[in-house]
Structure 1
Amino acid sequence: MDKSFKIKELNLFFKDYDTFSRGDLYAFYLQFDKELKETTFRWRIYNLKQQKVINTVARSIYTLSSKSEFYPAIAAKEEKIFSTISRQFPMLKGCIWNTNIVNELMLHIPKKSLTIIEVENEAIELVFNFLKNEGHKNLFFQPGEKEIQHYIASLENAIIVQSLVTKSPTQLVSKTTTTTLEKLLVDIYSNKNLFSTYQGTELIHIFNKAYDKYILDFSKMLSYASRRNKKKELIDFLETKTDIQNTYAK
């Protein structure tokens, strides 16, 4: 990387900062270039993020890259299901993940798990019927509270087919579109009936562990929470229940 990026100096200067603002970063570079242009600075920020020198944690708020990116493991079963759906509906947007990926963030590991399949709203029933005809068992179509309590709760693994929220933050892992950490946390927080195992003190631990271990983009997370009409609730939860600093939740 170009010497003008001052990577060594940047890491030394911000090493004791949990986060720093765009203004802080600009002031840092002004020490070396009093006539630094805004366009040059924007390009520099872009490259710093691309090279994983800094990470975005909120709008115009950054941190040095010392944490790992979250790439959930995709089991062969989920990979096969997603591949089958993609072949049958090649233009369909979808996402698949299993609650086993939450285990590393938990205090008490559950014996049961759920496979979550999310697709565009207009195709939910088509995908559900397709999977049913393919012979998949323990398959549920957007289950309600009673169905969750009376049927799903007693199963070792159930497959849930439900609507994919528009502009959901997903990622591609092993040729399979799956959840990001931001989406995972918001989904568990938002759907308390389906994810009852992960509530209470366990939920607090999950959020704290996720923040400690992985890069977490709060702008992305709160934007998704807003689309689920949970932004204000989630911010209150972050500020009053977790160890995450308040500045991230603004």
Structure 2
Amino acid sequence: MFFASFIKNSATFATKTILAKTLEQHINHYFRESERLSKQKLVSSIKEDFPHWSDNTINMYLSKLKKEGKISTPSKGIYELGSISLFNPEVSGSLKKIYNKIKLEFPFITYCVWDSAWLNDLMQHQPFKHYLVVEVEKDASEHVFGFLNETLKNVFLNPNEEIFNRYIQNLDDVVIVKNLVSEAPLIETHKIVIPALEKLLVDMLADTNLFSAQQNETRFIMKTAMEKFAINKLKMKRYALRRNRESEVEKLINIGLAKKD
């Protein structure tokens, strides 16, 4: 009985894999006349080729293709082909070491780590310096700062503009510990929790001291990010609302979409 169940499950998995691959092979064909399609139009085209598929089945495979970067949703209810990939920056050995040190010492807190150099590929002019950043839930940030300060040099907690100007900009190998905004969009890559790109793009507008090198390129960065990566604009807008930057984000998104068209 177990063997029969195993065979049945294996056959089902194989069938789903074949169907997903089949849709992937068709997807370029649906966009042959237009770079963008409404969900209604795309689903209608799929049903012409796969009349036995239910709406749930189609939604499942569209979600899979979106996660793989094969298609993207530049706005609600609109699909386009993805020359687009998922945001998956390289996490350096130094950043991994910091993340794992915190995880061992504070296993139950919420935090993420990132490198300001991750935005360099989206910029025209490359900054001379970069920072390693640890964002920690507010109640634990001072404890994490004290812990890291015992073994690392040049660690700063929630630095203001004066601290940036007087100290940080003149130092190398800086680690910044700052409060993590609640419900911030985070992702996990190789067992390391990092900010989603949507979060970094909003923070770029809110944390002008930390992102001082990006302030003259916010339009270019947003446009490039939208061209290169699959971005969930609804997620970005929700986070922007929490950071009181919704109008600025909306404006940059519209500029980016207009330039893509």
What is the TM-score of this pair, normalised by structure 2? 0.82
Task: Tell me, yes or no, if the aligned pair for 2:38 and 2:78 is still in contact at 8 Å.
Answer: yes
Task: Tell me, yes or no, if the aligned pair for 1:22 and 1:60 is still in contact at 8 Å.
Answer: yes
CA distance in structure 2 between the partners assigned to 1:52 and 1:214 by the alignment: 8
Which deviates more from structure 2 when the two are superposed, residues 121-130 or residues 1-10?
1-10
| CA RMSD in angstroms, aligned pairs only | 2.7
Residue 109 of structure 2 corresponds to residue 96 of structure 1: no
| Cα distance change, pair 73–44 in 1 and its aligned pair in 2 (3 A) | closer
Task: Tell me, yes or no, if the aligned pair for 1:114 and 1:159 is still in contact at 8 Å.
Answer: yes
Q: Could you tell me the percent identity over the aligned residues?
A: 31
| Cα distance change, pair 221–238 in 1 and its aligned pair in 2 (3 A) | same
Q: State the Cα distance separating 1:33 from its structure 2 match.
A: 6.3
Task: Tell me, yes or no, if the aligned pair for 1:56 and 1:217 is still in contact at 8 Å.
Answer: yes
CA distance in structure 2 between the partners assigned to 1:233 and 1:66 by the alignment: 26
| Cα distance change, pair 37–2 in 1 and its aligned pair in 2 (3 A) | closer
Which deviates more from structure 2 when the two are superposed, residues 81-90 or residues 182-191?
182-191
Q: State the Cα distance separating 1:2 from its structure 2 match.
A: 1.8
Task: Tell me, yes or no, if the aligned pair for 2:73 and 2:79 is still in contact at 8 Å.
Answer: yes
Q: Which has the higher helix share?
A: 2
Which deviates more from structure 2 when the two are superposed, residues 26-35 or residues 150-159?
26-35
Q: State the Cα distance separating 1:71 from its structure 2 match.
A: 0.9
Q: Which runs of 5+ in 2 are unaligned?
A: 1-17
Selected match of 2:128 from 99, 104, 111: 111
Task: Tell me, yes or no, if the aligned pair for 1:52 and 1:65 is still in contact at 8 Å.
Answer: yes
CA distance in structure 2 between the partners assigned to 1:195 and 1:51 by the alignment: 29
Task: Tell me, yes or no, if the aligned pair for 1:238 and 1:246 is still in contact at 8 Å.
Answer: no
CA distance in structure 2 between the partners assigned to 1:128 and 1:82 by the alignment: 13
Task: Tell me, yes or no, if the aligned pair for 1:111 and 1:156 is still in contact at 8 Å.
Answer: no
Residue 227 of structure 2 corresponds to residue 227 of structure 1: no
Structure 2 equivalent of residue 45 of structure 1? 62
Structure 2 equivalent of residue 148 of structure 1? 164
SS of 2:131's equivalent? strand
Which structure would you say has the larger RCO, counting Cα contacts within 8 Å and 6 or more residues apart? 1
Structure 2 equivalent of residue 56 of structure 1? 73
SS of 2:74's equivalent? strand
SS of 1:31's equivalent? helix
Task: Tell me, yes or no, if the aligned pair for 1:132 and 1:139 is still in contact at 8 Å.
Answer: yes
Structure 1 equivalent of residue 10 of structure 2? none
Structure 2 equivalent of residue 139 of structure 1? 155
Selected match of 1:214 from 209, 229, 232: 229
CA distance in structure 2 between the partners assigned to 1:67 and 1:44 by the alignment: 17
Bigger CA radius of gyration: 2
CA distance in structure 2 between the partners assigned to 1:71 and 1:44 by the alignment: 22
| Cα distance change, pair 62–187 in 1 and its aligned pair in 2 (3 A) | same
SS of 1:72's equivalent? coil
Residue 193 of structure 2 corresponds to residue 177 of structure 1: yes
| Cα distance change, pair 50–5 in 1 and its aligned pair in 2 (3 A) | farther
Q: How many residues are matched?
A: 244
| Cα distance change, pair 77–50 in 1 and its aligned pair in 2 (3 A) | closer
| Cα distance change, pair 188–30 in 1 and its aligned pair in 2 (3 A) | same
SS of 1:207's equivalent? helix
Q: State the Cα distance separating 1:226 from its structure 2 match.
A: 1.7
CA distance in structure 2 between the partners assigned to 1:194 and 1:178 by the alignment: 17
Q: State the Cα distance separating 1:56 from its structure 2 match.
A: 3.2
Task: Tell me, yes or no, if the aligned pair for 1:93 and 1:119 is still in contact at 8 Å.
Answer: yes
Structure 1 equivalent of residue 84 of structure 2? 67
CA distance in structure 2 between the partners assigned to 1:157 and 1:4 by the alignment: 46
Aligned-partner residue type, residue 206 of structure 1 = I
Selected match of 2:210 from 183, 194, 206: 194
Q: Which runs of 5+ in 1 are unaligned?
A: none
What is the TM-score of this pair, normalised by structure 1? 0.85
SS of 1:149's equivalent? helix
CA distance in structure 1 between the partners assigned to 2:257 and 2:69 by the alignment: 22
Aligned-partner residue type, residue 60 of structure 1 = G
